[in-house]
Structure 1
Amino acid sequence: MVLDLTVFGLAITLEPVPVITFILLLSAERGLYKGLAFILAWLSSLVLVLALVVLATGGTPPARSSTSSTAVLGIKLALGVGLIAYGAHRRRRLGRPRTRPAWTARLNRVSVWTASGLAVLVQPWGLVAAGCATAVDADMSRAATYLALTGFCLLSTASLLVMQLYATFAPEAAQDRLTRLSGWIESHEDQAIVAISLLAGLWLVSKSISQLVG
């Protein structure tokens, strides 16, 4: 479970759309406050979904080869296929000219509350769902499980936390470097989404099939 959560946590934190959105918010008026609101909403939504999963399982993983266990593996397999299909769909767009979505031009004027709402909207929910499906196997009677779930949440937020801290303690340098980073990510956005979706999807499909036939 720990390895799976690490894979999905890395995939979430490297997703380009949330990173670009966060950089644009940081560069806006009162950007640090908006960035903090974004991070808090991002973390809160992750924790809430994980908590719902743990409550649904009672903190005990389903028995191996049980109906519940098979159903969870079926869900993981479907999520993996969905990620692969999405990656293949985005791959067909490679090389096409891209323009920044119109809504990003209004990020300079959004409120702190809107910034927090954006965190929920741009969160890569397919990858979050994959992580939460993995958390079904969490045994909450073990302290290591709490550390694994906490690590997943922090890893999923790591890129945002690093940028927020950088902008807080070195605002001038951060402004220049994050702007350049945003431009680079935008020019490689489709490639990144394709790679992340395909790799995460293949990982989920292979693990699910191996457990179904094992």
Structure 2
Amino acid sequence: MVLDLVLIGLAITLYPLPIMAFVLVLSSPGGVWKGLAFILAWLACLVAVIAAVLLLTGGEPPAPRSPPSTAALAVKLAIGVSLVLYGEHRRRRRRSATPMDRGRSASDEAEPASRVHQASVWSAAGLAVLLQPWGMVAAAASTVVEADLAHGATYLALLAFCILASASLLTMELLMVFTPTRAQRLLTGLRSWLAAHQDQAIVAICLFLGITLAGKAIFQLTS
């Protein structure tokens, strides 16, 4: 369970779409407070999903080969396959896109970026919920089914997952609080890099995590 949560947490924290939105939120007027609202809403989603799963399981992992255990593995397999298909779709779309299409895509992003820049604190919180990579969060939920709350280490693993899945956001927020001038330079550079490499990053993350989850689920279902 722990290794799966680490991989999923890394994928969530490195996923480009929420990072790009968070950069825009932090760069807007009152960005620190908007960023805090974004992070709190982001964490609330993760905690709510974990709590819901633990309530369903009672904090005890289902017996191997039992219907709940098999169902959780089937869900993980479906999510893994979906991530692979989505990553491949993004890869093929990028390869077939012409320079004109890419330029049009960049211009299409300008208006949403402007709206994010003008967002309120509540809008920033709503944006965090909207941009949560729910497929990956669902994969985490199917993994948390294995959690055994009888062991104290389980609580630490779940807490570490929430922190890891939010690490990129927390880092940017702390930089903006303690070194705002440097943070602005770094965020500007990060935004430029994401604008140029966002698709490649999405493809790499989705393919790696999808293959890993699907492969492990198939192994556990057939062994």
TM over 0.5: yes
Q: Residues of 1 paired with 2:117 and 2:83: CA distance?
A: 32
The aligned counterpart of 1:210 is: 219
The aligned counterpart of 1:61 is: 61
The aligned counterpart of 1:9 is: 9
* Residue 105 in structure 1 maps to residue 117 in structure 2: no
Aligned with 1:131 (options 140, 148, 156): 140
CA deviation after TM superposition for structure 1 residue 92, in Å: 1.3
Paired residue total: 214
The aligned counterpart of 2:209 is: 200
The aligned counterpart of 2:127 is: 118
CA deviations on 1:110-169 (whole Å, 9 max, x unpaired) are: 110000000000111111111111000000111000000000000000000000000111
TM-score by length of structure 2 reads: 0.94
CA deviations on 1:55-80 (whole Å, 9 max, x unpaired) are: 01111111001111111111111111
SS of residue matched to 2:39:
helix
Percentage identity across aligned positions?
55
Kept after mapping to 2: 8 A contact 1:80/1:202: yes
CA deviation after TM superposition for structure 1 residue 93, in Å: 2.2
SS of residue matched to 2:94:
coil
SS of residue matched to 2:164:
helix
Once the two structures are superposed, the pairs formed by residues 140-159 of structure 1 within 5 Å of their partners are 140-159=149-168
Query: Aligned partner of 1:89: which letter?
Result: H
Kept after mapping to 2: 8 A contact 1:80/1:204: yes
Q: Which runs of 5+ in 1 are unaligned?
A: none
Q: Residues of 2 paired with 1:131 and 1:58: CA distance?
A: 17
Aligned with 1:162 (options 160, 163, 171): 171
Taking only aligned residues, the RMSD between alpha carbons, in angstroms, comes to: 0.9
Q: Residues of 1 paired with 2:63 and 2:193: CA distance?
A: 46
SS of residue matched to 2:145:
helix
Query: Aligned partner of 1:21: which letter?
Result: A
